[in-house]
Amino acid sequence: MSFVSSLRLVLAPPHPAGRPFIAIGLAVAGAGLLLTPWLIWVGGVFALFCLYFFRDPERVAPDRPGLVLAPADGHVVFVSMAAPPTELGLGEVPRWRVAIFLSVLDVHVNRIPLAGTVSRVCYRYGKFLNASLDKASDDNERNALAIRLADGRDAAVVQIAGLIARRIVCDVREGQDVSAGARFGIIRFGSRTDLYLPIGVTPLVSVGQTMIGGETVVAEL
């Protein structure tokens, strides 16, 4: 990545979910002008951190039909066979699951992995275990989406809260048509995103590989 590209990534405008936190930091810094100088530093550092954490860079999805894209930035921690969350009603037949762990340094805006129609959105409350653990898929608080493809097959993407994540934001609704690479939500402060591929589709990525949400090709239909 070039210096200009890196700079654009760091200075990308914040996601709307981050604006209240940035405002709090600026308010604390402003209060420091009247009360004590150390508040200026605390508020300023917090505001800058939130500007970085909630950055929402533009992404360019590959212009080729039939691709499944990464739903999040981060690195792949699991590539394995697993059944989708039961609340989605997609059955118990195992399919390929690609789990992406997002550190606090990664962009946390989630992206739609493939074009289709959102057939189900289910939020389930749970624990806040370390998102890099395999059991986080079952035990942690999560928001799951089922996406119906034009050919009738189904895929799923799951936003999973992490050890310090306490808020999952999802901006799509059941019945909504979505396109590959489009934004659909954000998870605050460290998390994981699991992608369940349609049955019969094999992933093209491996554990440890770095993902760029909305751009990295995970599989081909």
SS (H, E, C) 58-81: CCCCCCCCCEEECCCCEEEEEEEE
Distance CA 129, CA 176 (A): 31
Q: Both ends of the chain: CA-CA distance in Å? A: 29
55 Cβ contact partners less than 8 Å away, ≥ 6 residues apart = 9, 10, 11, 12, 13, 14, 15, 107
User: What pLDDT sits at residue 53?
Assistant: 83
Per-residue pLDDT of the chain (221 residues; tens, 9 = 90+): 554 455 455 567 878 887 888 898 899 988 888 888 888 898 899 999 888 888 889 999 998 889 999 999 999 999 999 999 999 999 999 999 999 999 888 998 999 999 999 999 999 988 877 667 777 777 788 999 999 999 999 999 999 987 765 688 999 999 999 999 999 999 877 689 999 999 999 999 999 999 999 999 999 99
Q: Buried (b) or exposed (e) across 168-197, using 16+ Cβ within 10 A?
A: bbbebeeebebebbbbbbbbbbbbbbbbbb
Q: Within 13 Å, how many C-alpha atoms sit on residue 37's CB side? A: 0
Instruction: Verify whether residue 191 is a known catalytic residue.
Output: yes
Distance CA 70, CA 201 (A): 14
User: What pLDDT sits at residue 116?
Assistant: 96
Distance CA 75, CA 105 (A): 12
Give 17's DSSP letter: G
Amino acid at 116: G
Distance CA 202, CA 164 (A): 32
User: What pLDDT sits at residue 167?
Assistant: 80
> 211, 76 in Cβ contact below 8 A?
yes
Give the active site residue among 119, 132, 191, 206.
191
Its pTM surpasses 0.75: yes
Tokens of 97: 């699951």
Q: Is 220 helix (H, G, I), strand (E, B) or coil?
A: strand
User: What pLDDT sits at residue 54?
Assistant: 85
